[in-house]
Amino acid sequence: MGKLKAAMRLAVAAAAVACGIGIAKAAPEAYPQKVVTLVTHSSPGGGSDVFLREMIKYLNRYIDATFVVENVQGGSGARAMSKVATAKPDGATFYAITPTYVFTSLMSKVPSTYKDMQPVVTVFSDAEVLFTRTDGPFKSLKDVIAHAKEKRGRWGVANPASLERQAAERLKKAAGVNAAIVSHEGGGDMMINVLNGTLDVGVGEIQELRSQLEAGKVRLVATFNSKRLDGYPNVPTVKEEGFDVVVQKFRGLAGPKGQPPEVLAIWERAMRGLIADPDYKKVYAAESLVPEVQGSAGATKLVDDFAAESEAFLKEAGAAK
CATH number of the domain enclosing 58: 3.40.190.150
Q: What is the pLDDT of residue 180?
A: 96
Domain that holds residue 270: 35-126+249-317
Annotate 72-99 with DSSP letters as a single string: --SGGGHHHHHHHHTS-SSSSEEEEE-H
The number of folded domains in the chain is 2
State pLDDT tens for residues 167-193: 999 999 999 999 999 988 777 889 999
One domain, residues 102 and 146 = no
Q: What is the pLDDT of residue 321?
A: 56
State pLDDT tens for residues 268-295: 999 999 999 999 999 998 888 889 999 9
Q: Which residues of the chain have pLDDT under 70?
A: 1-25, 161, 317-321
Q: What is the pLDDT of residue 26?
A: 79
What's the whole-number average pLDDT of the chain? 89
One domain, residues 145 and 117 = no
Residue 58 placed within a domain: yes
One domain, residues 195 and 139 = yes
Contact 273, 60 (CB under 8 A): no
Q: What is the pLDDT of residue 210?
A: 86
Q: What is the pLDDT of residue 320?
A: 57
Alpha helices in the chain (DSSP H): 2-19, 47-59, 78-85, 99-107, 141-151, 163-175, 187-195, 206-214, 261-276, 278-286, 296-317
Q: What is the pLDDT of residue 181?
A: 94
Q: What is the pLDDT of residue 100?
A: 85
Residue 94 placed within a domain: yes
Q: What is the pLDDT of residue 23?
A: 39
Q: What is the pLDDT of residue 308?
A: 92
